Amino acid sequence: FPNGTLVIENVERMSDEATYTCVAKNSQGYTAKGTLEVQVMVPPVVQPFSFGDVAMNSGQVVTTPCSVIEGDHPLQLRWLFDGETIKPRSGATVFNIGERSAILSIASVSHNHAGNYTCVAENEAGTDSHTATLIINVPPRWILEPTDKAFAQGSDAKV
């Protein structure tokens, strides 16, 4: 631009990360220059994960990794359950393995664990996430347990 502004669109680390120098010269021949370093940060990319194609049975163990396959440090990883931070006493535990991976582990799944689990990765350049649904088979239970009824012979029975 005529005002000396440099615009680099769609920056890429390999081609655009460098030291840039701007030199200004006036009509009297005086020059001034300034130098700046351009660093390109890569946003995180979360590798997709799933809980498998079949529902888990109550009491089974669930272990699922979340891995960041691309992105610059520092990274922050966190797991969410139905959009909320996983609570400490929920029966679900998160094990951080280095800065690029975290394992979600549930020692004994129950109907309370059914829902959407999201792994979120963040750095200064951006955020990425992946969500998978955990389906749990649970034994049937009575909503309203039936009770025995006695009716007089010849009367109408309504249950």
pLDDT at residue 149 greater than cutoff 90? no
Q: How far apart are CA 84 and CA 125, in angstroms?
A: 23
Whole-Å CA distances, 52 to 15, 30, 56, 89:
40, 69, 9, 25
What size, in residues, is the chain? 159
- The answer as to whether 21 is a domain residue is yes
Strand order, beta sheet including 62-70: 45-46, 62-70, 101-106, 92-97
List, for residues 53-97, the tens digit of each pLDDT value: 889 999 999 999 999 999 999 999 999 999 999 988 899 999 999
pLDDT in tens, 103-143: 999 999 999 999 999 999 999 999 999 999 999 998 788 88
Position 100 scores a pLDDT of 96
Q: Are 31 and 50 within one domain?
A: no
Query: Are 49 and 102 found together in one domain?
Result: yes
pTM of the predicted structure, to 2 decimals: 0.75
% the chain with pLDDT above 70: 99
- Contact between 44 and 127 under an 8 Å Cβ cutoff? The reply is yes
| Residue 97 and residue 51 in one domain | yes
Based on the domain organization, do 91 and 104 belong to the same domain?
yes
**Whether the predicted pLDDT of 159 surpasses 90:** no
Could you list the residue range(s) of the whole structural domain that residue 130 is in?
A: 45-137
